[in-house]
Amino acid sequence: MDCIFCKIVNKEIKSDIIFENENLVGFNDINPVAPTHILFVPRKHIDRLDNVESEDIKLIGELIFQAKEYAKKIGLNNSGYRLVFNTGKDAGQAVFHIHLHLIGGRLMSWPPG
Protein backbone atom coordinates (compact mmCIF):
# COMPACT_ATOMS: atom_id res chain seq x y z
CA MET A 1 0.00 0.00 0.00
CA ASP A 2 1.35 3.42 -0.94
CA CYS A 3 -0.16 5.45 1.90
CA ILE A 4 2.02 8.17 3.42
CA PHE A 5 0.25 7.92 6.79
CA CYS A 6 0.77 4.14 6.88
CA LYS A 7 4.45 4.81 6.23
CA ILE A 8 4.58 7.36 9.07
CA VAL A 9 2.72 5.01 11.45
CA ASN A 10 5.16 2.21 10.55
CA LYS A 11 8.13 4.61 10.89
CA GLU A 12 9.19 4.14 7.28
CA ILE A 13 9.01 7.93 6.95
CA LYS A 14 10.29 10.21 9.69
CA SER A 15 7.75 12.52 11.29
CA ASP A 16 7.49 14.72 14.36
CA ILE A 17 5.55 12.17 16.45
CA ILE A 18 4.17 13.68 19.66
CA PHE A 19 1.83 10.87 20.72
CA GLU A 20 1.84 7.12 20.23
CA ASN A 21 0.02 4.10 21.61
CA GLU A 22 -0.91 0.65 20.29
CA ASN A 23 -3.80 2.03 18.19
CA LEU A 24 -2.88 5.61 17.25
CA VAL A 25 -0.09 7.96 16.32
CA GLY A 26 -0.19 11.75 16.66
CA PHE A 27 2.18 14.03 14.79
CA ASN A 28 2.53 17.67 13.79
CA ASP A 29 0.97 18.59 10.45
CA ILE A 30 3.62 19.57 7.89
CA ASN A 31 1.36 22.41 6.64
CA PRO A 32 -0.14 23.81 9.85
CA VAL A 33 -3.11 26.18 9.68
CA ALA A 34 -2.67 27.28 13.31
CA PRO A 35 0.07 27.37 15.95
CA THR A 36 -1.09 23.91 17.07
CA HIS A 37 -2.05 21.54 14.25
CA ILE A 38 -1.68 17.88 15.12
CA LEU A 39 -2.97 14.87 13.20
CA PHE A 40 -4.18 11.84 15.13
CA VAL A 41 -4.03 8.79 12.86
CA PRO A 42 -5.15 5.22 13.54
CA ARG A 43 -2.58 2.52 12.84
CA LYS A 44 -5.34 0.64 11.02
CA HIS A 45 -5.73 1.90 7.45
CA ILE A 46 -9.25 3.15 6.78
CA ASP A 47 -9.37 5.39 3.71
CA ARG A 48 -12.37 7.59 4.57
CA LEU A 49 -14.76 8.11 7.43
CA ASP A 50 -17.52 6.70 5.19
CA ASN A 51 -15.77 3.32 5.38
CA VAL A 52 -15.66 3.07 9.18
CA GLU A 53 -17.34 -0.19 10.23
CA SER A 54 -19.10 -1.02 13.49
CA GLU A 55 -15.95 -2.77 14.77
CA ASP A 56 -14.11 0.58 14.40
CA ILE A 57 -16.42 2.56 16.73
CA LYS A 58 -14.06 2.21 19.71
CA LEU A 59 -11.10 3.30 17.54
CA ILE A 60 -12.90 6.47 16.43
CA GLY A 61 -13.81 7.21 20.05
CA GLU A 62 -10.18 6.75 21.03
CA LEU A 63 -9.06 9.22 18.33
CA ILE A 64 -11.37 11.86 19.79
CA PHE A 65 -10.49 11.04 23.40
CA GLN A 66 -6.72 11.13 22.85
CA ALA A 67 -6.93 14.39 20.88
CA LYS A 68 -8.95 15.93 23.72
CA GLU A 69 -6.47 14.67 26.31
CA TYR A 70 -3.53 16.07 24.34
CA ALA A 71 -5.31 19.43 23.97
CA LYS A 72 -5.75 19.48 27.75
CA LYS A 73 -2.10 18.48 28.29
CA ILE A 74 -0.81 21.45 26.26
CA GLY A 75 -3.37 23.90 27.68
CA LEU A 76 -5.63 24.38 24.66
CA ASN A 77 -8.69 23.52 26.73
CA ASN A 78 -8.48 26.97 28.35
CA SER A 79 -8.76 28.98 25.12
CA GLY A 80 -10.46 26.43 22.85
CA TYR A 81 -9.60 24.17 19.96
CA ARG A 82 -11.17 22.48 16.96
CA LEU A 83 -11.34 18.77 16.07
CA VAL A 84 -11.93 18.05 12.37
CA PHE A 85 -12.38 15.02 10.13
CA ASN A 86 -12.29 15.88 6.41
CA THR A 87 -14.12 13.22 4.41
CA GLY A 88 -13.69 13.20 0.64
CA LYS A 89 -11.91 15.44 -1.82
CA ASP A 90 -14.50 18.26 -1.76
CA ALA A 91 -14.19 18.44 2.03
CA GLY A 92 -10.43 18.86 1.79
CA GLN A 93 -9.28 15.30 2.48
CA ALA A 94 -5.83 15.16 0.87
CA VAL A 95 -4.56 11.89 2.37
CA PHE A 96 -6.96 8.96 2.13
CA HIS A 97 -6.25 7.45 5.54
CA ILE A 98 -8.64 8.81 8.16
CA HIS A 99 -7.12 11.33 10.51
CA LEU A 100 -8.40 13.76 13.10
CA HIS A 101 -7.04 17.31 13.05
CA LEU A 102 -6.47 18.99 16.42
CA ILE A 103 -6.24 22.71 15.63
CA GLY A 104 -5.78 25.54 18.12
CA GLY A 105 -3.69 28.37 19.43
CA ARG A 106 -5.51 31.16 17.57
CA LEU A 107 -8.98 32.62 17.14
CA MET A 108 -10.95 30.65 14.54
CA SER A 109 -13.90 31.92 12.56
CA TRP A 110 -17.02 30.16 11.32
CA PRO A 111 -17.70 28.99 8.71
CA PRO A 112 -14.19 27.62 8.25
CA GLY A 113 -13.85 27.81 4.48
26 and 39 Cβ atoms separated by less than 8 Å: yes
Q: Write out pLDDT tens, residues 3-33.
A: 999 999 999 999 999 999 999 999 999 999 9
Q: What total of structural domains would you count in the chain? A: 1
Q: Write out pLDDT tens, residues 66-85.
A: 999 999 999 999 999 999 99
In a domain, 26, yes or no: yes
In a domain, 72, yes or no: yes
For 42, the domain range is 4-104
How far apart are alpha carbons 10 and 45 in whole angstroms? 11
We report the CATH number of the domain holding residue 94 as 3.30.428.10
Residue 112: which pLDDT band, with cuts at 50, 70 and 90? Answer: confident
How does the average pLDDT of the chain come out, rounded? 95
Q: How far is CA 71 from the centre of its chain?
A: 12
Position 113 pLDDT exceeds 70: no
In a domain, 110, yes or no: no
Which residues are part of the catalytic machinery?
Answer: 99
How far apart are alpha carbons 96 and 29 in whole angstroms? 15
Q: Please, which residues bridge with residue 41 across strands?
A: 25
In a domain, 99, yes or no: yes
In a domain, 29, yes or no: yes
